[in-house]
Amino acid sequence: MTAILPDKTDSRSEKILRSSATELARAIRHGELRSIEVVNAHLDRIAAVNPQLNAVVYDLAPSARAMAKEADAARERGADLGPLHGVPCTIKESFAMPETPFTSGLVARIGIRPSETATAVKRLVDAGAIPMGKTNVSELCMWMEGNNKVYGRTNNPYDPSRIVGGSSSGEGAIIGAGGSPFGLGSDIGGSIRMPAFFNGIFGHKPTGGLIPNSGQYPAAENNSARYCTTGPLARNAEDLALLVDIMRGPDGICEGAREMEFGDPSKVDLSKLRVLHVPDDGRNRVHAELRTAQNEVARALESLGAQVIEKRFPKLERSFEIWAAMLAADGGTTFRELMGEGKDGGFKLLPELFRYFLGVSDHTLPAVILAALEQVGESMEEKQRELVELGLELRRELSEELGEDGIMLYPSHPVPAPKHGVPLLFPFRWVYTGILNMMEIPATQVPLGLSKKGLPLGVQVAANHERDHLTIAAALFLEKRFGGWRPPPGS
């Protein structure tokens, strides 16, 4: 395994690169650190690792340095400081930011520069955050490999021969490599939690509708505006609640966003929780080290006094079919229509396959296959209705079992980060994350150390609707117990 090795850094820079956004904001506010120092430390780290990672695909270093200098000047003149004042971050490329790329990995969108700012981005910047760059995605944000024909492939900081997950691919990789304290992602099938898992960091998929999805491409429509969620990835658990709190609430644009409760994780009594320990979905076998790690999490919570119940939900065996049916039944713009942007006559499957195998297609193979699967699924309307009802039944079962005080332990993925290309051989393993999108429940990916091969381990912690604070409270405890994010070897 080849590790990403950084340039030599002094101990002050090393401390900056391991600190949470919350800690950095506090130090900047109190004059212990200057924003320009914090930003430069992270930009130097990005410069050291990005040539091998290909995580940051659009550089905002000049504007980041200018914003950092203004942040320091604002502090010196006694201005009001936001909760993220002077703290750097990264942003997924599929979020709109004026005069920056907005392709979502689609060749036909090269050259598009939005004039608007996505709501979540604006709220972070208004809170004082400083974007350092935009990060890579899978094509049209619909696959678990961070690869497209616009920017190429992103590599894992723990082993560059392995995937970083998708579609918030670059976010997972650059945060896992220590190049950013936190970043912004979106998730309709695990696109926050899988990159967080494969890169050893925290990622939170909020309750559907808690944070608006406005200003993203592709846009989430109809029920998908709740199935798709915007949320944070971070190297430290304490930042999750702060970031969710900053970004939450309707904006009058996203049709799925609404006002809802967001509790305080610090007030959660973990000893009073009911813990549903769900070892697998009954279909996709889970790696032994991940099973062991999840068992240890269950024991750790039980040691606090929490009631741990091993539980299985037979309907989880149908996770992929439920996910696909509920998404298809939602209507809206099809994946094929998105793929056909800029093409005369739109996307045509057989000609595109021919172009792909000739090596002249503008699309990746997973995107072409997904378009084909979508076409097949649309021909099974009666089966689709049955599966949607099955999904609604599963949603009711989970809600009843979780109640007000329950959390669920569930694998983030069946195996640690696979080699590049391997997901095409096992294309449905992402359903461990995807099914929770259709349930619209919150879930936090929590890192749990490294495997024998040095790859990140982890687990999802889920809870009932509007109980995000329970999953984040569990993440805070598990970070202390299991060590949280561990920088890649040599960093």
- Catalytic positions are 92, 167, 191
**Helix (H), strand (E) at residue 244:** helix 238-247
Q: How is 9-27 classified by DSSP, letter by letter?
A: --HHHHHHTTS-HHHHHHH
What's the token pair of residue 480? 């202390």
Q: What is the DSSP letter of 264?
A: -
The Cα–Cα gap between 43 and 114 comes to: 25
Q: How many CB atoms lie within 10 A of CB 434?
A: 25
CA of residue 55 relative to chain centroid, distance: 14
3-state secondary structure of 72: helix
Structure tokens, 133: 């760059």
Assess contact for 236 and 20: CB atoms under 8 A.
yes
Asked if residue 272 lies in contact with residue 405, where contact means CB atoms within 8 angstroms, the answer is yes
Strand ranges (DSSP E) for 188-315? Answer: 202-205, 229-234, 274-277, 307-310
The two three-digit tokens of residue 18, written as one number? 């391991």
Instruction: Dig out the tokens for 100 from the structure.
Output: 């920056």
Produce one character per residue of 373-384: b if its CB has 16 or more CB atoms within 10 Å, e if not: ebeebeeeeeeb
Token digits for 2? 């080849």
CA distances from residue 133 to 42, 184, 350 in whole angstroms, order as listed: 11, 11, 37
Residue 408 three-state SS: strand
